[in-house]
């Protein structure tokens, strides 16, 4: 520890990982500014009902963002999480009668893990580029969801199952509690376990990690499996909350996840990232989407804003990596 660093500051730096205090503080300031602005722009923003809706809408994003952060830290990328959410819901809806809702939900979770495993095998064992692999799996999973559902939304009526998406624990909806739990567990794993430290090493320099006897392919494979499983979990909770499953659900969701993760400080190049930053990134995107809905902005404008945030996040990442020279831009 640097002698000039206090124990409290050292602990804080350890908690947030590779992102500096200045970057994390800047994100929090941005979020506070957005929150205050929306409080003035809409009289409904600060209502209890709307804040609950905001948290519920951000829960699925947060659940997937946790494991996506871990995957991207290791140098991976998954563009198939949105279609995996839709496929999970359709699997549950199709199997609810022959298997029963709870066994169908288990098969849905396993479906998400299977998609992740296929991504992991193709990337780590076959050697296909992660973008191409997961983009192909995006279309395969989405197409399969439409085939199984015949292009229709399928109702899922089960009172006990629906409690997964609507019941409260300690005053917060279950999906929100699940997201918070995953963030806490993820922070502990990434900062205080061998697995977490290895993920940073693998993402930072895979060749050096391999020479240091780390099972690089194995670490990345399981990162893909867990990412797929998190999408399956998000799809299960979403199906329970909406009483239905739709093959077109979560379209474009993967880009929101990437935007939140990269905006929070995780590098697309791997080796750097923090779940605390991702947490703030999720809140920023969730609050923006909620605010735009309250302000009655059309979906076209919402997509434009989401695209801008994604480009901004990637631009910030390139700046962190030193790929953008401010001096050149001024010329």
pLDDT at 164: 92
pTM for the model stands at: 0.87
Q: How far is CA 223 from CA 55, 218, 248, in A?
A: 26, 9, 26
pLDDT at 179: 96
The class of domain 20-31+44-315 in CATH terms is mainly alpha
274 contacts 265 by C-beta, under 8 angstroms: yes
* CA 122 – CA 303 distance, rounded (Å): 31
pLDDT at 7: 60
pLDDT at 315: 77
pLDDT at 5: 55
Closest CA to 74 of 201, 168, 169: 201
308-313 contacts: CB < 8 A, separation 24 or more?
309/259, 309/263, 309/284, 309/285, 310/255, 310/258, 310/259, 312/263, 313/258, 313/259, 313/260, 313/262, 313/263, 313/281
In this prediction, the residues of the chain whose per-residue pLDDT falls under 50 are 1, 11-13, 15-19, 328-329
Strands (E), the chain: 154-155, 168-169, 172-173, 244-245
* CA 243 – CA 271 distance, rounded (Å): 40
pLDDT at 249: 94
């Amino acid at each position: 520890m640097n002698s000039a660093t206090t124990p409290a500051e050292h602990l804080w730096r350890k908690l947030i990982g590779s992102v500096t205090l200045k970057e994390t503080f800047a994100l929090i300031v941005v979020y506070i500014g957005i929150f205050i602005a929306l409080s003035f722009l809409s009289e409904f923003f600060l209502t209890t009902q709307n804040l609950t809706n905001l948290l519920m809408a951000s829960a699925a994003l947060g659940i997937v963002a946790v494991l996506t952060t871990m995957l991207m830290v290791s140098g991976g990328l998954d563009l198939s999480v949105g279609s995996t959410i839709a496929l999970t819901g359709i699997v549950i809806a199709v199997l609810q009668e022959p298997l029963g809702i709870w066994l169908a939900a288990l098969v849905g979770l396993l479906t998400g893990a299977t998609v992740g495993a296929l991504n992991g095998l193709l990337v780590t064992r076959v050697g296909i580029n992660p973008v191409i692999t997961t983009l192909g799996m995006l279309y395969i999973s989405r197409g399969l969801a439409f085939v199984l559902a015949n292009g229709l939304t399928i109702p899922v009526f089960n009172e006990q199952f629906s409690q997964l998406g609507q019941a409260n624990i300690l005053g917060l909806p279950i999906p929100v509690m699940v997201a918070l739990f995953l963030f806490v567990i993820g922070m502990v794993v990434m900062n205080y376990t061998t697995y977490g430290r290895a993920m940073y090493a693998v993402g930072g320099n895979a060749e050096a990690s391999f020479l240091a006897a780390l099972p690089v392919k194995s670490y990345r494979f399981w990162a893909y499996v867990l990412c797929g499983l998190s999408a399956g979990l998000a799809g299960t909770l979403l199906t329970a909350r909406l009483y239905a499953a739709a093959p077109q659900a979560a379209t474009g969701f993967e880009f929101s996840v990437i935007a939140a993760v990269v905006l929070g400080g995780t590098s697309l190049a791997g080796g750097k990232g923090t779940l605390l930053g991702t947490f703030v990134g999720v809140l920023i995107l969730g609050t923006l989407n909620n605010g735009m809905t309250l302000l009655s902005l059309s979906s076209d404008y919402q997509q434009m804003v989401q695209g801008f945030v994604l480009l901004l996040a990637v631009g910030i990442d390139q700046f962190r990596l030193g790929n953008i020279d401010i001096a050149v831009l001024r010329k």
